[in-house]
Amino acid sequence: MEIDVKKQDENSMVFIIRDAEVPFVNAIRRIAMMKVPKLAIEDVYITKNDSAMFDEVLAHRLGLTPLVSDIEAIDGLMTEEECKASGLHDESQDGYCKNCGVAFTLVESGPKRVYSRDLSCSDSKIKPVYDTIPLLDLEENQDVELEAIAKLGIGKEHAKWMPTTVCVYKQYPEITFNENEDIPYAAADACPKGVLVANKEEEKIEITDVENCSLCKSCVRKAKELGSRYIKIGYRENDFIFNIETDGSMPPKEVLLRACDVLNSKTDEFIDFSKGGSE
């Protein structure tokens, strides 16, 4: 298997995987979305909310506010399930367990628009990913006071724990031309992605960026309308273009790395089972 990064920035990455199988690539995709733990606000204790926003809506907005969850930030933090299983779960101090929870407080008075940056956290490494997410509006003489507890969770339980906003792959497109057919120049204009360009001078249709092809076959349909089978759209069975974007809670490479860890631990369980025979 070969992997080439096509483009990458802080929160997104596109890479090409060659010589792989659909079940493997799909397993990585599903685990990246559903099984990589990240932090999100789970419990909200509102002592005062004079704003027009209902408590439930405010709690929901807080839950969906992305929080920094890279390995460094969540170092030492367990999921509530792991914490309870380890016997370390202790809510006797401050009303929440510090082994599996992080507390945020929000105390603001109007008139003002309250933003995510106004949340203050008990742990200096943890904060909202973006400072300028509007949470609620306070008018003159209106106050809000609350405590929110963030916990680790996985996307399978709730979308607020999904680190990825995009996590998709497609098979590597292949575009070929049947030179025995008439050239349907208008079919190039039917491509919504600008992959095909009609070149009447040189009597051909050119491919600008095959990797941008979405395999939609609009060009093939248009060519058929014009009575031509000039364009053929296919894909390489074992090559993939993988596109991942995160909500900023952790870099895409970290999501993939942690997805591989989850896959590894699952295969380890299977190896242990297999070594132990039919137990």
Handedness of CA 58, 245, 34, 95 (dihedral sign): negative
Q: Which of 28, 39, 97, 103 binds Zn ion (CB under 5 A)?
A: 97
Q: Which of 13, 58, 100, 244 binds Zn ion (CB under 5 A)?
A: 100
CB 198, min distance to ligand SF4, A: 12
CB 220, min distance to ligand SF4, A: 6
- The strand pairing partners of 43, in sequence order, are 149
Distance CA 99, CA 88 (A): 7
Nearer to ligand SF4, 119 or 220 (CB): 220
Tell me the three state secondary structure of residue 93: coil
H helices of the chain, in order, are 22-34, 55-63, 80-86, 185-189, 218-225, 252-275
Distance CA 125, CA 74 (A): 8
Instruction: State the pairing for strand pair 38-49/2-8.
Output: unpaired
CB 234, min distance to ligand SF4, A: 10
Q: Max alpha carbon distance in the chain (Å)?
A: 79
- Residues 147-186: x where in contact with ligand SF4 by CB under 6 A, - otherwise, as a string: ----------------------------x-----------
Q: Is 217 in the site for ligand SF4 (CB under 6 A)?
A: yes
Single out the segment in contact with ligand SF4 by CB under 6 A; choices: 63-71, 75-83, 140-148, 207-215.
207-215
Query: Which does residue 218 bind out of ligand SF4, Zn ion, none, counting CB within 5 to 8 angstroms by kind?
Result: ligand SF4
Cis check for the bond before 111: say yes or no (omega within 30 of 0). yes
How big is the chain by its Cα radius of gyration, in Å?
25
Nearer to ligand SF4, 148 or 190 (CB): 190
Q: Is 40 in the site for Zn ion (CB under 5 A)?
A: no
| Residues 6 or more apart in contact with residue 223 via CB below 8 angstroms | 184, 187, 229, 230, 231
**Residue 180 DSSP symbol:** T
Single out the segment in contact with ligand SF4 by CB under 6 A; choices: 71-79, 154-162, 164-172, 214-222.
214-222
Q: Is 205 in the site for ligand SF4 (CB under 6 A)?
A: no
Q: Is 102 in the site for Zn ion (CB under 5 A)?
A: no
Q: Is 223 in the site for ligand SF4 (CB under 6 A)?
A: no
Q: Which of 233, 257, 260, 263 binds ligand SF4 (CB under 6 A)?
A: 233
Given the rule CB under 6 A, which residues bind ligand SF4?
175, 191, 193, 195-196, 213-219, 233
